Amino acid sequence: MEFRTVLTTCPYCGCGCGLLLEVLDGKLIGTLPSKTSPVNEGKLCVKGWTVHEFVISPNRLTKPLVRQAETFDESSWDRALDLAATRLKEIKGKYGPDSIAVLTSAKCTNEENYLLQKFTRAAIGTNNIDHCARL
């Protein structure tokens, strides 16, 4: 028997509220706001309160999907990443780097956002990098 709470950061928006995932025998059973997080001091919004629900949702995507004409086909990561790299190279070669824009997310960590702007500027060669919070 094991019950513990795992301290983590809410993945929904850029606030970064501290929350506790309640874990009973390895199963996720609930969410509580962290009282000791300096960000949210024991409070959460309706989305934060229900974080555990999407983790265990049967609708959750667990594999990459590649868009075909009308459908999304399940794919391996290797195949999906190869396809993305090939198409980005093709587009950049044909129309130039400024034909590509990258939109990143508040759900990422600072480090992931840094990596993505570095990739956009250094690998693709454009300043077209923005963030979902300005959508």
Interface residues toward another protein, by CB under 8 A: 1-5, 7, 18, 20, 22, 24-25, 29-30, 32-37, 40, 42-46, 48-49
Q: Which is nearer to another protein, 21 or 116 (CB)?
A: 21
Task: Determine the distance from the C-alpha atom of residue 8 to the mean position of all C-alpha atoms in its chain, rounded to a whole number.
Answer: 15
- Asked if 39 and 16 touch (Cβ cutoff 8 Å), the reply is yes
Question: What's the min distance (Å) between Cβ of 45 and another protein?
Answer: 5
Question: What's the min distance (Å) between Cβ of 48 and another protein?
Answer: 8
Q: Which is nearer to another protein, 25 or 111 (CB)?
A: 25
Q: Which is nearer to another protein, 18 or 120 (CB)?
A: 18
E strands within 34-89? Answer: 65-67, 72-74
- Asked if 40 and 80 touch (Cβ cutoff 8 Å), the reply is no
For residue 74, what are the β-bridge partners?
Answer: 65
Question: What's the min distance (Å) between Cβ of 43 and another protein?
Answer: 4
d(CA 104, CA 121): 13
Question: What's the min distance (Å) between Cβ of 122 and another protein?
Answer: 35
